[in-house]
Amino acid sequence: MNCAELSQLLLDYFDGALPGLIAAELRQHAADCACCRSLVETYGLTVRLSADVAQAEVPPGVAQRVRDAVRALAEGQ
């Protein structure tokens, strides 16, 4: 595996969609290549940080407002 091939496989690697042998080849290339090792680590960290982006709940007042608007429209139809 070379650097270009590794780069193309990163999405499937982090989604757990790579066959085991290819994933092992990717890890081996990353172990031997400092640039690809950094890329794998920082790409993975980017994915992990994205999953940490704050998750909000719908505020109760907003949920009620939405239901009121939907009901008003339904009753007017």
Partner 1 sequence: MIDPSLVRLAREGDVEAFMALVGHCETRAYRIALAFTRNAEDAADILQDTMVSALRQIATLHDEARADAWIYRIATNRSLMLLRSRRRRPEVSMDGVEGHFDSDGHRDGFVPAWPVDPEDELERRRLAARIAELSERLPDSYRAIWTLADVEQLTMEEIAGVLELSIPNVKSRLHRARLALRQLLAGELLTPGGVS
Nearer to partner 1, 21 or 57 (CB): 57
The nearest distance, CB 12 to partner 1, in angstroms, is: 8
User: Smallest distance, Å, CB 23 to partner 1?
Assistant: 16
Q: Is 25 exposed, middle or buried (0-12, 13-18, 19+ CB in 10 A)?
A: middle
Rounded Cα distance, 40 and 45, in Å? 8
For residue 55, the 8-state DSSP code is P
Task: Kindly state whether residue 49 participates in binding partner 1, applying the rule CB under 8 A.
Answer: yes
Q: Does 19 bind partner 1 (CB under 8 A)?
A: no
Q: Which residues, other chains included, contact 44 with Cβ-Cβ below 8 Å and sequence gap of 6+?
A: 14
Given the rule CB under 8 A, which residues bind partner 1?
Answer: 2-5, 7-8, 10-12, 15, 33-39, 41-43, 45-59, 62-63, 65-67, 69-71, 73-75, 77
